[in-house]
Amino acid sequence: MSMPDDRTAFVASMGDILASWNLPRATGRVYGHLLLTSRPVSLDDMSEALELSKGAVSTSVRELVSWGLARALPQPGSRRLLIEATGGFEQLLAASHERTRSFVSTLRGGTGLTDADPARERLDGIADFFEAYVQAGDAMLREYRG
């Protein structure tokens, strides 16, 4: 059950984009497929449509769920799960901000460990930059959410 060419191109592009963010290409492809699907789909259906192993699809789904980009829906009386996309890049940006806050915290903790002012200034500069990035992104998210 292959996809039409335009859908295939979109799914491949999503794979490339997420790969450029150091996520597996398969994860991006699964996310692209989920974004184009109007109702929840099974791992088997995604595996067939994307021509990926069920293991690759399952791993990708776990990654997407951890980022808040997908949701697994248990089926009563069955071990089978259906998967659907949740929201969009808003969740990815929010999750990225949380990870960046952790990065800033680690940088701030390192300033007391430096052996000279240039290293401390460098750490402070990097932390300040990423703090400003998160603040700007948070403001954008607040405005987007209305």
pLDDT tens-place string over residues 60-107: 999 999 888 899 999 888 888 999 998 766 777 877 888 899 999 999
pLDDT tens-place string over residues 14-73: 999 989 988 899 999 999 999 999 999 999 999 999 999 999 999 999 999 988 889 999
pLDDT at 2 over 60: no
State the pLDDT at residue 48. Answer: 96
Strand-pairing partners, residue 85, are: 70
Query: Which residues have CB under 8 Å from 55's CB, separation 6+?
Result: none
pLDDT at 1 over 60: no
Contact 64, 30 (CB under 8 A): yes
